[in-house]
Amino acid sequence: MTDHDHDPIASAKAQEATHNFAIRHATLADIPALQSMIEASLRALGSTHYTQAELDGSIGYLFGPDTLLLHDRTYFIIHPTSSPDVICACGGWSFRRTLYGADTAPGRMPEARDPQCERASIRAIFTHPEWARKGLGTMMMRHCEERAREGGFGRLEMGATLSGVALYERCGYERSGKEDCVRCPNGEGIRVVHMVKDLETNGMEEKGINGA
């Protein structure tokens, strides 16, 4: 089966059914490990979409933990059930207007969104390269979508990395037609694709794993 034919939702559901992995809230103590894991993910899985210079300029500036999400308890870690300190994947959602980016990224807007007329954002989903292609990134996405639903949001948006666009399209997200080019300190411009998804009004077919 090719990557194009692969059904990421089916893989995530199969992974959820094994109970080999659990999801917990990320904490401030996790920040160094998250920074290291996000860098490893981007350099291994994003190198076919971004140049070395683009990765060098964006990691730690545009791509990295957003501590506000940790304070909000809307950022999560997937770990082997028996090893809560091992970060296999991470990701979150947010009711704030900042769409993407680490603490140091430009254009941050911490104001709360109105769920009646605005979309929640799915934020910073990354998978460690040693745990890639096992359905964990999609498992995290499903978990975050359900937490956003519980927060009162029925519509979602995200700023997707180029390496994530194809996966998110297979998970029901659509390109909105907007695309940002974020200028990094080293002068490189990083393309980020705006994508949207409307959740089913009758609820998700199957809920993701509950957060710890």
Q: What is the pLDDT of residues 145-196, one digit of tens each?
A: 999 999 999 999 999 999 999 999 999 999 999 999 999 999 999 999 999 9
Q: What is the pLDDT of residues 107-151, one digit of tens each?
A: 899 999 999 999 999 999 999 999 998 999 999 999 999 999 999
User: Is residue 97 in a domain?
Assistant: yes
- Mean pLDDT in the chain? 91
Number of structural domains (the chain) is 1
Token couple for 207: 């809920």
Q: Is residue 125 part of a domain?
A: yes
Residue 206 belongs to some domain of the structure: no
Task: Extract the tokens encoding 37.
Answer: 């894991």
- The candidate with the shortest Cα–Cα distance to 193, out of 156, 160, 167, is 160
Q: What pLDDT is recorded for position 17?
A: 85
Which CATH number covers residue 64? 3.40.630.30
How far, in Å, are 32, 56, 165 from residue 187 at the CA level? 25, 11, 24
All residues at 6 or more sequence positions from 104 whose CB lies less than 8 Å from its CB, including other chains: 60, 61, 62, 64
Alpha helices (H) in the chain, listed in sequence order: 8-18, 31-45, 52-58, 67-72, 136-150, 165-170
Residues paired with 198 in a beta bridge: 155
Please write the tens of the pLDDT for every residue from 68-104: 999 999 999 999 999 999 999 999 999 999 999 999 9
> Where in the sequence is the domain holding 92, given as residue range(s)?
8-101+111-198
